[in-house]
Amino acid sequence: MEILILKIQKTLASFLFQHDLKNIVKENTCFKNALNPRSIDLILTNVNLAFQHTCSYFTGLSDFHKLVLSVLKISFTKNEPKKLFYRDYKHFNASSFQNDLSLNFSSGKIDSCSTFTKSYLDTLNVHAPLKSKLIRANSAPYISKVLRKAIMKRSALETKYFKKKTLSSLKAYKKQKNYCSRLYKKERKAFYNNLNPSFVCDNKLFWKTVKPLFSNKVNSSTNIKLVEDEEIVQDNDKVADILNSFFKNAVASLGIEENSYIVSQDFINISDPIDRAITKYHIHPSILIIKDEIKVNDTFSFEPVCIADIENELKDINPKKATTDGNIPPKILKQSSSVASPVLLELLNKSFISCVFPESLKLADITPVLKKKDPLNKSNYRPVSVLPIISKIFLKIMQKQMNQYMNPHLSTYLCV
């Protein structure tokens, strides 16, 4: 028995030496025999300095075994500062902006949604110009404006000290550094002491407060990295191309085969996508049953809308709603609804007459959102699209007309 134990110990020692491993558990953890306790737990690591305060203690969950605890010392990669673009509303005057906007609309030819957006943004850029600023990418929720300014001053004094290396610059830098440390502790304590209990009931506020502390699925997380063809891809442009290709071909890659028995083949030579879909499935059993049960004599078409329909939709805009980057802000569009409504009315009715949805309103900002654990696997991301605010207004009006047409033909027991 002793020979076997010695052989096992020799094998383990050789394994540890070969892989440069150390066991951080130094105490006996098994007390099945109180007179002869054993050390049977192993935590092997090749970075033993990263583990601190390893200890064991009785929990009462086991009669003879201790629980092993260790503190893992880790460091997070500091992200590069983010460049944000924002509009400066310091000298913005709503009435002056609407007057200039009305003049631009009357003097210029607004024949499409793209020209409307361009003319609108050109006017807005004069009254609320676009500006940019750099912000720290790892800012915690308790970093206040006062603390941020103090850190910026500390960084400036640090740069000044390293340039001149004078006693006065060193003294000023150390003084500001100590002030930042005290202010950091003060702001952090105040943040957690003043957390509003209502945050627990408000989902949006709750997750905004909690996520930065426990999750990497937040705005301050690192840039997306993917493993493609056994290589790690970090370049943002390459990552965007990989995800774009994946999202575009996601449905086709499922390999779903069509049932030739219930799908008509007469659609092959039809170019219009809507007529193609109607012809393709006109002998599908579900379609045949619907035709037998419901007799619809008229055909659907969008009806021209009035100015009140546009104004009502503009007034119902949520000013906090997201829109595409560099597009019309919902808040300003809502404020200038009296000027924008006539132009949008003309564009929407023109779209209804031609039965063509404006191409510029189909362009969306797509954000890949991690839905599963492994962030390196592209198949674990899902696309979230943000459309221009004008697109959402058009779609709401179209939805109302479609519902008005469809609801009389649908069952009252249909789930909504």
Any domain includes 327: yes
Asked which of 214, 231, 248 is the last residue of a domain, the reply is: 214
**Rounded-to-integer distance, Cα 397 and Cα 348, Å:** 9
Q: Quick one: 279 and 323 in the same domain? A: no
Q: Quick one: 349 and 399 in the same domain? A: yes
What DSSP designation does 108 have? S
pLDDT in the model for residue 219: 47
Evaluate whether 282 touches 264 at the Cβ level (below 8 Å): yes
Any domain includes 268: yes
Q: Quick one: 278 and 313 in the same domain? A: no
Any domain includes 357: yes
pLDDT in the model for residue 322: 85
pLDDT in the model for residue 168: 92
Any domain includes 49: yes
How distant, in Å, are the alpha carbons of 40, 117, 155, 394 from that of 57?
15, 67, 45, 66
In which domain, by residue range, is 351 found? 307-409
Q: Quick one: 319 and 280 in the same domain? A: no
Any domain includes 223: no
Any domain includes 345: yes
**Rounded-to-integer distance, Cα 270 and Cα 148, Å:** 62
Q: Quick one: 286 and 311 in the same domain? A: no
Residue-wise pLDDT tens for the chain (416 aa)? 566 556 667 777 888 888 888 888 888 888 888 778 877 788 888 888 888 888 888 777 767 788 888 888 777 666 778 888 889 998 999 999 999 999 999 887 888 999 999 999 999 999 999 998 887 766 677 888 899 899 989 999 999 999 988 999 999 999 999 999 999 999 988 887 877 666 556 666 666 666 655 555 444 445 788 888 888 888 888 998 999 888 888 877 776 676 665 566 666 777 777 777 778 787 788 778 777 777 766 778 899 999 999 999 999 999 888 888 888 999 999 999 999 999 999 999 999 999 889 999 999 999 898 887 788 888 889 999 999 999 999 999 999 999 888 888 777 777 65
Q: Quick one: 263 and 194 in the same domain? A: no
Q: Quick one: 270 and 325 in the same domain? A: no
pLDDT in the model for residue 115: 92
Q: Which residues contact 96 (CB under 8 A, 6 or more apart)?
A: 127
Q: What is the pLDDT of residues 211-268, one digit of tens each?
A: 655 555 444 445 788 888 888 888 888 998 999 888 888 877 776 676 665 566 666 7
Count of the separate structural domains present in the chain: 4
Asked which of 72, 97, 116 is the last residue of a domain, the reply is: 72
Q: Quick one: 275 and 333 in the same domain? A: no
Q: Quick one: 280 and 370 in the same domain? A: no
Bridge partners (DSSP) listed for residue 382: 369
Q: Quick one: 278 and 348 in the same domain? A: no
Any domain includes 161: yes
Evaluate whether 334 touches 92 at the Cβ level (below 8 Å): no
Q: Quick one: 316 and 288 in the same domain? A: no
Any domain includes 227: no
How distant, in Å, are the alpha carbons of 17, 25, 125, 161 from that of 338?
79, 73, 20, 57
Asked which of 24, 57, 72 is the last residue of a domain, the reply is: 72
**Rounded-to-integer distance, Cα 181 and Cα 14, Å:** 48
Q: Quick one: 371 and 336 in the same domain? A: yes
